[in-house]
Amino acid sequence: MKARLLYADRDLDWDAPPVPEAADLTRDLALDTLFDAMADGDDFLRDTARQVVLTSLTEPDAIVYRQRILGDFLRRPGLLTEMYRLVVETIDAEHRIWPTFLRSPTSIMHRAVQAMELYAGRLRELRRIADRYADDVRSPGLVRFLGMLRAELDDACFDVMDEHLRRLRFRNGVMVGARLGQGCKGTGYVLRRPGPRPSWRERLAGQGPPSYTYRLPDRDEAGARALAELRDRGVALAADALARSADHILGFLRMLDRELGFYLACLNLHRKLTAKGEPLCVPTPLPTGRPTLVCHGLYDTCLSLRREERVVGNDVDAEDTALLVVTGANEGGKTTFLRSVGLAQLMTQAGMFVSADSFTAGVRTRLFTHFRREEDEEMESGKLDEELARMSAIADEVTPGALVLFNESFAATNEREGSELGRQITGALLDCGVKVVLVTHLYGLAHGLYAGPPEGKAVFLRAERRADGTRTHRLVPGEPLPTSFGADLYRNVFGEPARTAAGPAPDPPAESPRDAPAPAASDLCPSPDVESSGVRDVTK
C-alpha cells in the first residue's frame, strides 16, 4: 500500500543525503525564507518542504502529476486537512504507548498488540474520509489513492487483524520448529502453528506421533529461566512479525504524513502570497531538450515574503536559449532577477506553483548556483581559490541538461583574468549542453559573449537605469555596456586621465565603447560589429 502522492511510481527517499549543491542553493537563493513560509512554524513541515523542493523532478509528466494533486487540494482543502490531522494524531498516539525499554519478546509483543489495536481503529476512520471525498477529486494521483484506501482497507482486512490479535495469546503453548546447527545446537527456529491435537482416544492407544516430554523439577530456577528463554525464542518470532507489521503500518502513516505535509506546506505558501495580492501561476514545464525561459511578471518569491508591499516582476522572452547574460548597474535588480529564475525553476520542478503571471521553462536535470560570496571579501588572497574550488565542485556534478546560475563570479581577480576564466568556463558548459544564466559586471566577459557567443541562441538583458540615474529594478533586453568606474576612480585619485596616448588603458572609455574597445577586452571580442538588440542567434 503506497500513498504515491509525490511520484506516480515511487516514494521519495526521505533518508537520502541532500544533493551536494543543496547548501549553495539554499544560501544563494535564500531558500530558508521559502521554507519558513511553507512551514508556518512547524519544523516537520519545514523539513518536508526542504527535502521535496531540493529533490527536483526532471520529467514534465511527473511535474504535472503533482500540479494536478495540488490543484485538487487547493479546491478541497478539507480533504487534505482532515487526513493530515488523522495521520498526525495516530502517529502521536503511537508515540504515547508505553515504550519498551526491555528487549524481551514478551514486552515487545505486548506493545505491538497495543499498537495494532490502535491502528485498527484509525485505519477504519481513514477509510471513511476516503469514502466521503471519493467523488470530489480529479487528479490521477488522488483518484488512485482514495480508490486504494477503499479497496485495501475493506472489512475483510479488519477481520484478519482481529483474528491474529486473538491467536497471538498462545493458549496451547508455543511451538517452535528447529534443525540441528553447529555443535548440535538448535538452529533455524521457526514459529509453527500446531496442527489439530490428537484426540484422547489416539493418545491412549499410543497412535499419535512419538513424543518425549521433559518436565522441569520443582525449584529448578535456572531451568525455569532457560525454559522461559526457549519459549521466548518462539514468541520472539511472532513478536518480531507483529512488531514488523506494526512498523509497516506506522511506516505507511509516516510516508502519508510526509507526502500530505508537502501539500499542506504548499497551501501555507499559497495563502501567504495571495493574501498580499501577489499573482501565482501553474508553470508549463517543457522537456529538457528545450532550454526555454518565457515568463511574464516573474518576481522573487522570497523577496516578496520578506516585504509588506508587492515586488517588481520581470518579463523574459528567451525561447530555446542556452545562454542568458544579465549586465548593468549595481542595485539594478540583477541578483533579484537571478534568484527569481532559480526559485521559479526549483518550484516548477517540485510540482509547485510559481511567482509570476505566467512561466514556461525547460526542465533541467540539475540546478547549480555560483554566487559571489560577499562575506569572504576580507580574505582577498584565498578568494579566487575559494571561488574556483566551488566551481570545481560544480564541475564534479554538472551534467548536460543542467542549469548553472552565475552571480558576479570570477571577479576576485582582475578583469582580464576574470573574463578569460569566465569565457572558458561558460564556453565549456554551453558546449556540453549546460544552460547558463550569467549575471556579471565583467565587461570583457559579457561583451566577448555578445560579440562572439558560443553556439546557439543567447539573450542579453540589462538592468534598466533611467537617464537621471534612478533604477527601476526591471531588466530590459540590451547589449552589455562598459562602465567608466575604473577610469573615473583613477582620475579622482591621481587627478590625471587613466589613459595616455602611449600607456595601456585598464578600462574602455565610457563615451564610445564600440569605437574603442579596451585593450583588455579586445582579444576577447574579435568582431566588434555589435547590434543594438540584446538577442544574438549564431549557428556556426
Within residues 401-440, the interface with another protein by CB under 8 A covers 421, 424-425, 427-429, 431-432, 434
307-336: contacts with another protein (CB under 8 A): none
106-135: contacts with another protein (CB under 8 A): 108
Of 400, 472, 489, 523, the residue at the interface with another protein (CB under 8 A) is 400
Cell 585619485 locates to 493
Of 131, 229, 377, 488, the residue at the interface with another protein (CB under 8 A) is 229
Query: Which residue lies nearer to another protein by CB, 247 or 317?
Result: 247
For residue 2, state whether it binds another protein (rule: CB under 8 A).
Answer: yes
For residue 105, state whether it binds another protein (rule: CB under 8 A).
Answer: yes
For residue 249, state whether it binds another protein (rule: CB under 8 A).
Answer: yes
Using the contact rule CB under 8 A, the part of the chain among 42-50, 246-254, 275-283, 472-480 near another protein is: 246-254
CB of 376 to another protein, least distance (A): 17
For residue 158, state whether it binds another protein (rule: CB under 8 A).
Answer: no
Nearest residue to 371 via CA among 344, 346, 334, 396: 334
Give Cα 353 distance to the centre of its chain. Answer: 14
Record the cell numbers describing residue 273, joined without a space: 502570497
191-220: contacts with another protein (CB under 8 A): 191-195, 209-216
For residue 480, state whether it binds another protein (rule: CB under 8 A).
Answer: no
Query: Which residue lies nearer to another protein by CB, 229 or 488?
Result: 229
Reduced 3-state DSSP string for 119-151:
HHHHHHHHHHHHHHHHHHCCCHHHHHHHHHHHH
User: Which residues does 467 contact at the CB level (< 8 Å), separation at least 6?
Assistant: none
Buried (b) or exposed (e) across 1-13, using 16+ Cβ within 10 A? eebbbbbeeeebe
Record the cell numbers describing residue 340, joined without a space: 527569481
CB of 257 to another protein, least distance (A): 12
Record the cell numbers describing residue 378, joined without a space: 576580507
For residue 227, state whether it binds another protein (rule: CB under 8 A).
Answer: yes
Q: How far apart are CA 236 and CA 244, in angstroms?
A: 12
Number of residues that bind another protein (CB under 8 A): 88
Nearest residue to 272 via CA among 73, 38, 66: 38
For residue 184, state whether it binds another protein (rule: CB under 8 A).
Answer: yes
CB contact at 8 A, 284 and 351: no
Amino acid type, 283: P
For residue 381, state whether it binds another protein (rule: CB under 8 A).
Answer: no
Torsion angle defined by CA atoms of residues 274, 278, 279 and 284, in that order, rounded to the nearest 10 degrees:
-90
Q: How far apart are CA 130 and CA 140, in angstroms?
A: 15
Using the contact rule CB under 8 A, the part of the chain among 281-289, 347-355, 391-399, 519-527 near another protein is: 391-399
Amino acid type, 518: A
For residue 358, state whether it binds another protein (rule: CB under 8 A).
Answer: no
For residue 47, state whether it binds another protein (rule: CB under 8 A).
Answer: no
For residue 396, state whether it binds another protein (rule: CB under 8 A).
Answer: yes
Using the contact rule CB under 8 A, the part of the chain among 183-191, 475-483, 485-493, 511-519 near another protein is: 183-191
CB contact at 8 A, 368 and 398: yes
For residue 102, state whether it binds another protein (rule: CB under 8 A).
Answer: no
